[in-house]
């Protein structure tokens, strides 16, 4: 059994057994997405936000070839400063496990491992998609969304990508795109892209109902919930596009491709915008974690047969409070 290879944190395991709300978090943003010390500060903040919203965080990574579902504080610290950590997508999981490597999981790998563990909701910044300059380069995140039943909360695809082609790909492969309090597909740093979502919802319960309906119908794959960056943190679209254009030109000139392209572009955009894009990235990550926790909570209540506006039992509330109290 593949899940026999998972090492699940005791709190996460108890939450799974009790059907308490859980939110999976990727580790690639810690190693490859944010600089130190912001990476560690953000990783801790995301877990804290999930707990404060009444769910249990499960940051996923591979350490020494062991797939960890729910990292300890010490493991978060290790990843934040470790050198030579492999960026792990779905194809890399067996390599990292067999070779005893450290690996930071992307959206695709985090989705797959979360599904193995039984976690149905994940939060991230932005998914991968179809690249602008190389439309044949399609992120592994997209086919993972088409086949793995995990709902991903994000701020759309990273705006360094071709958003039109990415949305078309999602439509073709049957991935519902839900706008959370938004009628447009967000452009990561910016709140709108001019592209419509499949449906707008305004509450966690509405999102949970769509997720539950898809899986009860036996439809394959995940659901994408897109959340605009908070207004106060938004990077104006013109500023973001100018920075992206310059970063893409620099990558082309230096011959940077493949798995190295996205980290390079994000770092270059942060340099060009004098850190404004980094501030925006952290803000949307925190907001997405908050929304994911609320949806996970609503979905868990549905699964337990508890409907909205009904009081939770003392046992449920007490048990959940024990797991969401940080020690």
Give the active site residues.
26, 158
Phi, psi (degrees; rounded to nearest 5) at 110: -65, -40
Q: Which residues contact 239 (CB under 8 A, 6 or more apart)?
A: 273, 276
- The conformation of residue 325, written as its DSSP 8-state character, comes to S
Question: How far is 181 from 184, CA to CA, in rounded Å?
Answer: 9
Backbone angles phi, psi at 58, to 5 degrees: -135, 90
Q: Is the distance from CB of 211 to CB of 292 less than 8 angstroms?
A: no
Distance separating alpha carbons of residues 107 and 259, to the nearest angstrom:
13
The token pair at 271 is 């340099």
Length of the chain counted residue by residue:
327
Cβ partners under 8 Å of residue 76, min gap 6: 30, 40, 43, 44, 59
Question: Which helix (DSSP H) or strand (DSSP E) does residue 240 occupy?
Answer: helix 237-254
């Amino acid at each position: 059994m593949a899940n026999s290879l998972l090492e699940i944190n005791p709190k996460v395991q108890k939450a799974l057994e009790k059907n308490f709300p859980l939110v999976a978090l990727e580790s690639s943003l810690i190693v490859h997405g944010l600089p130190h010390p912001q990476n560690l500060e953000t990783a801790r903040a995301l877990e804290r936000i999930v707990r404060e919203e009444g769910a249990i965080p499960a940051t996923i990574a591979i350490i020494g070839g062991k797939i960890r579902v729910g990292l300890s504080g010490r493991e978060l610290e290790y990843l934040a400063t470790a050198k030579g950590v492999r960026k792990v997508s779905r194809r890399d999981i067996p390599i990292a496990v067999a070779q005893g490597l450290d690996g930071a999981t992307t959206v695709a790998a985090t989705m797959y491992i979360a599904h193995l563990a039984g976690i149905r909701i994940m939060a991230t910044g932005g998914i991968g998609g179809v690249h602008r300059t190389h439309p044949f380069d399609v992120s592994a995140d997209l086919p993972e969304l088409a086949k793995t039943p995990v709902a991903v909360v994000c701020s759309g695809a990273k705006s360094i990508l071709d958003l039109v082609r990415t949305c078309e790909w999602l439509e073709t492969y049957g991935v519902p795109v839900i706008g959370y309090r938004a009628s447009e597909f967000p452009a990561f740093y910016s709140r709108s892209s001019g592209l419509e979502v499949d449906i707008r919802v305004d509450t966690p319960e509405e999102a949970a109902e769509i997720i539950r309906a898809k899986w009860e119908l036996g439809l394959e794959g995940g659901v994408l919930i897109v959340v605009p960056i908070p207004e106060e943190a938004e990077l104006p679209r013109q500023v973001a596009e100018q920075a992206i254009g310059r970063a893409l030109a620099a990558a082309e000139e230096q011959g940077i491709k493949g798995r190295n392209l996205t980290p390079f572009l994000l770092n270059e955009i942060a340099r060009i915008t004098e850190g404004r894009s980094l501030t925006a990235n952290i803000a949307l990550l925190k907001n997405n974690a908050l929304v994911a926790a609320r949806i996970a909570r609503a979905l868990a209540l549905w699964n337990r047969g508890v409907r909205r506006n009904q009081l939770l039992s003392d046992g449920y509330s007490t048990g959940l409070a024990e797991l969401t109290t940080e020690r």
